[in-house]
Structure 1
Amino acid sequence: MRAIQLSRFGGPDVLDIVAVPKPEPKAGEVLVRVHAAGVNFFEVLMRADRYAVTPQLPMIPGVEAAGIVEALGQGVDASLLGTRVAAPLFASSRPFGGYAEYVTIDASLAVPLPDSLSFENATALMVQGLTALYLSRQSPPAGRSVLVAAAAGGVGSLLVQLAKRAGASRVIAAAGSKAKLDLTLSLGADAAVDYSRTDWPARVREAADCGGVDIVYDIVGGPTTAAALDALSPRGELVFAALGRYALGALELEKMIGQNQSLRGFALLPLLLPNALRTSLSELFDLVAGGQLKVTRGGRFPLDQASQAHRLLEERGATGKVVLIP
């Protein structure tokens, strides 16, 4: 089968298309013919060895895929053969391998897809959908004003909608271009602020209409974090979900203490117990299939153009989910 292999760290061009043996499902596993594989920004960082965790090379990147079950390992229910499923590889014992024509995964982790849900949309609801859902659960927005950073991206575009559904009093979206700002407003944001402007925290405070927002969902990190603190109200909560992109120093932390503000970390994987994973994914799938949640497409690329997909994300050119089509 064809797959994308990372054999050395570097720019997008280090992603090579290679021929590797098709995997065989072991006992308790299913073989999935991949129809869409998700591409995530943290994979861009990982490719350049700028992520919090350095992977062992060589490797086939990709932590999420969706497709059709083509073969069963010993002991797997025969009714799964031919079913359309999501393969959340990130929750399995072999968390990579999605940039390929086939993947294997434990049958208990393969989540059936509604007939009306496309494979491409399913990929958007795994890492990014679950991140948005669990952020809204860990720091509930009901009755509170919230700021969503990178609100036109894969996580942000879903979080804007989920925060509104959860009863946020005001959702303010931050993005870096007019097109992205318009997108967030179309998804239900109450206000949108261009965070390429130096005065953007002041604009957030003005949009919040109360001196600052109650919650900042920070999925960007870096300099954005310190700037977002200027938009956070006293006793507000900064939820940090940008693993490996820390930029808070002693001065920022002292300021937070003086304002009675709180800093809350967020990491998705420790929250994903198997039963909760299946239930949460099914919930997201049903919301999209029922038209209550919209997935924003950020671009689709053939498998052998994985480097172009990475380049698009690296240059912040995508809105919504970027996928590979083997």
Structure 2
Amino acid sequence: MRAIQITEFGGPEVLTLADLPDPVAGPGQVLVDVSRAGINYADTHQAENSYLSAAELPLVPGGEVVGRTPDGRRVVALVGTGGYAEKAVAPEAMAWNVPEGVDDATALAMVVQGASAWLLLRRSVHLAPGESVVVHAAAGGVGTLAVQLARAWGAGRVIATASSKEKRDLALSLGADAAVDAGEPDMKSALIEANGGRRVDVVLEMTGGTVTDQSLQALAPFGRLAFYGMASRQAPKPVQPANLMKYSTTVAGMWLAHVFQLPGDVMGQALDELFGLVAEGRLKAVPGGEYGLTEVRRAHEDLRARRTTGKLLLDPSR
């Protein structure tokens, strides 16, 4: 089969097209004939071995696929690695049937980015109706869905940040009430101003560096910041527990992998609700572009340069 393989860690240049043996499903696994794979920002960390879980070489990157099983089921699946290929193997417990009427892009958008937005709002910050919500990187895969979910679940005011006017306009079209330039040097003041002069209740943050620092300073008493990425590759300042008490604020971290350690089928619950909102027309995946295997380096370059919006797809047939 055709696949993208990494034999040394690094930037987009290490992504190499290769002919590899077809994978074989073992006990408790299912083989998926991949129609599309998802491309996520985490994949850029996987390529350089800077992700939360260490990678081993050689490596076929890509953690999510949609396609058909040998018995004809159409599934969306989490594979960990191996997604950038014509065929992939997934644990049976991590393959979910795709409802009728849900296209490949939407299915892939929901399984990682939609589930992440769901967990951030439902579990990490416990969003309450009427609260203000800041969504950083609001034009990205998680951000576009988080804006819509916050609006659907009764947020009082949704504030988006994005790096260009086009991206900010996209966030506004999805339901954000205000949009702030992601390059704003005084992010704390900009967020408070966008919230009508009041400190904010909730921040979803995946940039890192001073954006995290200033967003934490913009929180209202009992405000919550959920940290789920570090796209700038710059660490924020260490959080002082005494300051959390002083201002009655909370900082939470979220890594999707931990959802599978929760009791019950929380991931299944999330997908059921997300697909239900899609069917009702209250949630949509924003298409972000499709790349062939031969274009995967450009996909990673575009991601790292913040040139993308919405959900990026990989077509393994070209």
TM-score (ref. length: structure 2): 0.91
Aligned length: 310
Q: Could you tell me which residue of structure 2 aligns to residue 180 of structure 1?
A: 167
For 2:100 and 2:252, how far apart are their aligned partners in 1?
38
Are 1:18 and 2:3 counterparts? no
Distance 1:164 1:66, change over 3 A: same
For 1:275 and 1:311, how far apart are their aligned partners in 2?
35
Q: Could you tell me which residue of structure 2 aligns to residue 131 of structure 1?
A: 116
Q: Could you tell me which residue of structure 2 aligns to residue 301 of structure 1?
A: 291
Contact 2:187/2:211 (CA < 8 Å) preserved in 1? no
Query: In structure 2, which of residues 203, 213, 217 is the aligned counterpart of residue 216 of structure 1?
Result: 203
Contact 2:105/2:285 (CA < 8 Å) preserved in 1? no
Query: In structure 2, which of residues 86, 90, 105 is the aligned counterpart of residue 101 of structure 1?
Result: 86
Please state how far the C-alpha of 1:254 moved relative to its aligned partner.
5.3
Q: Secondary structure at the match of 2:285?
A: coil
Q: Could you tell me which residue of structure 1 aligns to residue 271 of structure 2?
A: 281
Q: Deviations over 1:241-292 (max 9, x none)?
A: 1268631236x66544432222122222112357222232233223224322
Q: Could you tell me which residue of structure 1 aligns to residue 56 of structure 2?
A: 56
Q: Deviations over 1:179-204 (max 9, x none)?
A: 01000000001111112122333121
Query: In structure 1, which of residues 151, 159, 166 is the aligned counterpart of residue 146 of structure 2?
Result: 159
Report percent identity of matched pairs.
Answer: 41
Q: Could you tell me which residue of structure 1 aligns to residue 238 of structure 2?
A: 249
Contact 1:214/1:236 (CA < 8 Å) preserved in 2? yes
Contact 1:114/1:286 (CA < 8 Å) preserved in 2? no
For 2:205 and 2:193, how far apart are their aligned partners in 1?
19
For 2:52 and 2:91, how far apart are their aligned partners in 1?
26
For 2:98 and 2:130, how far apart are their aligned partners in 1?
33
Q: Could you tell me which residue of structure 1 aligns to residue 98 of structure 2?
A: 113
Distance 1:13 1:311, change over 3 A: same
Q: Secondary structure at the match of 1:125?
A: helix
TM-score (ref. length: structure 1): 0.89
Query: In structure 2, which of residues 172, 176, 187 is the aligned counterpart of residue 189 of structure 1?
Result: 176
Query: In structure 2, which of residues 256, 260, 267 is the aligned counterpart of residue 268 of structure 1?
Result: 256
Contact 2:113/2:142 (CA < 8 Å) preserved in 1? yes
For 1:291 and 1:68, how far apart are their aligned partners in 2?
26
Task: Give the unaligned 5+ runs of structure 2.
Answer: none
For 1:24 and 1:48, how far apart are their aligned partners in 2?
27
For 1:40 and 1:245, how far apart are their aligned partners in 2?
19
Q: Could you tell me which residue of structure 2 aligns to residue 45 of structure 1?
A: 45
Task: Give the unaligned 5+ runs of structure 1.
Answer: 72-80, 90-94
For 2:184 and 2:235, how far apart are their aligned partners in 1?
21
Please state how far the C-alpha of 1:146 moved relative to its aligned partner.
1.2
Query: In structure 1, which of residues 249, 259, 280 is the aligned counterpart of residue 247 of structure 2?
Result: 259
Contact 2:46/2:61 (CA < 8 Å) preserved in 1? no
Q: Deviations over 1:102-159 (max 9, x none)?
A: 1122334321112211112211111111100011101122221111111111001101
Are 1:316 and 2:302 counterparts? no
Question: Aligned AA for 2:249?
Answer: Q
Are 1:140 and 2:130 counterparts? no
Question: Aligned AA for 1:307?
Answer: R
Please state how far the C-alpha of 1:322 moved relative to its aligned partner.
1.0
Contact 2:116/2:142 (CA < 8 Å) preserved in 1? yes
